[in-house]
Chain A
Amino acid sequence: MKLLNSEISPRELVQGRRGVLRHLLASTSALALPSLSTAQALAPTQRPGKLAPLPSKTSMLPGAQTMDKLTAYKDASGYNNFYEFGTDKSDPAANAHTLKTTPWTVDIEGLVKKPGRWALEDLLALSPMEERIYRLRCVEGWSMVIPWVGYSLAELIKRLEPLGSAKFVEFVSLADPKTMPFVGSRTLDWPYTEALRLDEAMHPLTLLAFGMYGEILPNQNGAPLRLVVPWKYGFKSAKSIVKIRFSERQPATAWNKAAPQEYGFYSNVNPEVDHPRWSQASERRLGEDGIFGKKRKTLMFNGYEAQVGQLYAGLDLKKFY
C-alpha cells in the first residue's frame, strides 16, 4: 500500500493547491464576479479525455465546492449502481454502451402550468453550466467525491411554473429492455422512479447534471441527464431521466416499493439511523481511505446540514428515514 500512496501523492499536492484556490474563490465571490473567466481559467477538474467536453464555470453556491479529494474518474465511472445494466458494480460500465442518448427528450407532466416535451438540447441551453463538487454517499456504506456539471433543478422547475397544489416531483428513468439488458429483472419494478418533496427539488443544491469531470456523463453514470441530491443516499439521484411529473400526493419510489422498511422516501444521509441490515455511522471513501484503514464517520445530511437542515425542521428523522 505504501507504494500506491507514493504514486498518488503528487496528485494530492496538486489537489491541495487547487483546493486553496477554490476556497479563496468561493469565499471571495465578489472578487470572482467581475470576471467569470477567472473561474474558467481555474477550470477545476482535469478532463479525463474520454468523452465530449462540457464546459462550465465553478459554482459559487455554498456547499457546492467540497474540499475533499476527488475520486479518480476510473473509479467514479467504473463502480456504479445502475441496475438496468446489471447488479454488479462493474456491470454498468461493461453493459451501458448500448444506451442511446440521442435523440433524448424529457416529458414534463402533472401539476405545472407548462407541461410538455423538452429536447435535451433545450435543457442543455436552459441555464449556464456549473461545476459542483459533491460528496456522494451510497446507502451501501461507500462514498465518492465527484465534480458534476449541470445547474440547479430549480432553474428548470421555475420555468415550468408548478401549480400551488404541486407538492412532490417524481423522476422516471428510462426503461428500455432493448438497450438495458436487466430491465425486467425481479430486483425492482421498472421503470426506476424516484421523487422529492417540491421544496427539496427546489433547493439550489439539488442538481440536474449533464456531465462530470468536465465532460458529458458516461452512460453508466446516468447519461444524458440525471439528478444529484448530495445530502441523500445515492439511489435518490435518478439516472437517465425521461419524465418529470409534479403531483400533490407522495409518489411511490423504486427502492421504497421493493423494501419499505429498509429504504424510506426521504433517505437523507443520517449516521444515527441505521439501515436495518447495517450501520450507517461510517463509510469507506473509495480510493482514499486505505483498505486497511478505519472508515470515516458519516456526516449528518452528508455534511450538507448547514444548507439543508432547515428543510427538515421538526421532522422526526427516525420515523421519516
Chain B
Amino acid sequence: MLMQRALASRFAKPCVFVLALLPLAYLTFALLRDALGANPAEALLRGTGLWTLRMLCVLLLVTPLREATAWAGLARLRRMLGLFVFFYALLHFVAYVWLDQSGQWDDILRDIPQRPFILVGLLALALLLPLALTSFNAAIRWMGASRWRGLHRAVYLIALLAILHFFWMRAGKRNFDEVAIYAVIIGVLLAWRLRRRFIRTAARPETSP
C-alpha cells in the first residue's frame, strides 16, 4: 500500500530520474577526482557499457515486478527507464568514438570488421534509436497502438544483442563470470515473458465464447 502510494506520488518520477543519473554522476566525479585508475578512458568506456546493461535489466524487470506485486504505478516509469537505457548506450557510443578511437572515423571503419562485437553493439544502438524517437505519446497515436507495441518489442532483441556484445567482448580472455550473471538475469526476464505469452495463448480458446 505504501509502495502503491509512493509510486503514484508526483515525486516518484523525479526520484527515479535522479537515481538513474547517479551512475553518470559517479563516473564524472571519479574522473574529475582522478579516481578511475590508470586508464580512465577504458574505465569510462566499460562503465557506461555496464550501466547500459544494468539499466536494461531494470527496465525489463518493471513488468514482471508490476504483475507480481500489483504495483500498477511502476508502469509510469517504463518510458523514462527506457530512455535512460538509450542515454547510457549513447554515452557508451560516444566513449567508444571519442575516447577509444579518438574520433578517427577511418580508424573506426577499420576497427569494426576486426571486432565484430562492436558491430553487434552498434546494431543494438541502431535498434534503440527508433524506440527512443517514438517514446512520446503522440507517436503511439500516429503509429497505432498495436504497431507501436510491435516496434517496441524490439527491446527483447536489443537485450539479446547487448548480452552477445558483452560475451564477445570478454571472449578474448575467456572471462565469462560477469557475463553469465547478466545473461541469467536477462534470460529469466525474457523467459518470464515467453511463459506469460504461452499461458495467455493457451488460455485464449477457453475464454473466448
Chain A residues with CB under 8 Å of chain B are: 3-4, 71-72, 74-76, 78-79, 83, 87, 89-90, 142, 186-187, 258-259, 262, 274-279, 282, 284, 286-287, 291-295
B37 contacts A277, CB within 8 Å? no
A89 contacts B114, CB within 8 Å? no
Instruction: Give the chain A neighbours of B174 by CB distance below 8 A.
Output: 186-187, 258
Return the chain A residue nearest B33 by Cβ.
A4
Show 24 A/B contacts (Cβ-Cβ < 8 Å), sorted by A.
A71-B38, A72-B38, A74-B38, A78-B38, A79-B38, A87-B175, A89-B38, A89-B39, A90-B37, A142-B39, A186-B174, A275-B114, A277-B115, A278-B114, A279-B110, A279-B111, A279-B114, A284-B39, A284-B41, A291-B31, A292-B98, A292-B99, A294-B102, A294-B104
Given A278-B111, A293-B102, A294-B102: A89 and B37 interface contact (C-beta under 8 Å): yes
Return the chain A residue nearest B45 by Cβ.
A291
Shortest A85–chain B CB gap in Å is 13
Give the distance in Å from the alpha carbon of A293 to the alpha carbon of B44 in the complex. Answer: 14
Shortest B120–chain A CB gap in Å is 13
Per CB-CB distance, the 7 closest pairs between chain A and chain B, nearest first, are A79-B38, A75-B38, A291-B41, A294-B102, A87-B175, A286-B38, A187-B174
Shortest B122–chain A CB gap in Å is 16
B99 contacts A87, CB within 8 Å? no
Shortest B100–chain A CB gap in Å is 9
B37 contacts A79, CB within 8 Å? yes
Q: Which of B37, B38, B102 has the most CB of A within 10 A?
A: B38
B 37-55 binary contact with A (CB < 8 Å = 1; else 0): 1111110100000000000
B37 contacts A78, CB within 8 Å? yes
Instruction: Give the chain A neighbours of B99 by CB distance below 8 A.
Output: 291-292
Give the distance in Å from the alpha carbon of A83 to the alpha carbon of B174 in the complex. Answer: 11
Give the distance in Å from the alpha carbon of A282 to the alpha carbon of B160 in the complex. Answer: 32
Partner of A278, one of B41, B44, B115: B115
B 179-193 binary contact with A (CB < 8 Å = 1; else 0): 000000000000000
Instruction: Give the chain A neighbours of B175 by CB distance below 8 A.
Output: 87, 187
Shortest A186–chain B CB gap in Å is 6
Give the distance in Å from the alpha carbon of A277 to the alpha carbon of B41 in the complex. Answer: 19
Return the chain A residue nearest B41 by Cβ.
A291
Instruction: Give the chain A neighbours of B172 by CB distance below 8 A.
Output: 259, 262, 277
Supplied contacts A142-B42, A293-B102, A294-B102, 6 more A-B pairs, CB within 8 Å: A71-B38, A72-B38, A79-B37, A278-B115, A292-B99, A295-B102
Give the distance in Å from the alpha carbon of A97 to the alpha carbon of B104 in the complex. Answer: 41
Instruction: Give the chain B neighbours of A294 by CB distance below 8 A.
Output: 102, 104
Q: Which of A4, A291, A294 has the most CB of B within 10 A?
A: A291
B114 contacts A4, CB within 8 Å? no
Shortest B16–chain A CB gap in Å is 30
Give the distance in Å from the alpha carbon of A123 to the alpha carbon of B61 in the complex. Answer: 60
Return the chain A residue nearest B44 by Cβ.
A291
Return the chain A residue nearest B110 by Cβ.
A279
Give the distance in Å from the alpha carbon of A294 to the alpha carbon of B107 in the complex. Answer: 12
Instruction: Give the chain B neighbours of A279 by CB distance below 8 A.
Output: 107, 110-111, 114
A274 contacts B38, CB within 8 Å? no
Q: Which of A277, A279, A292 has the most CB of B within 10 A?
A: A277
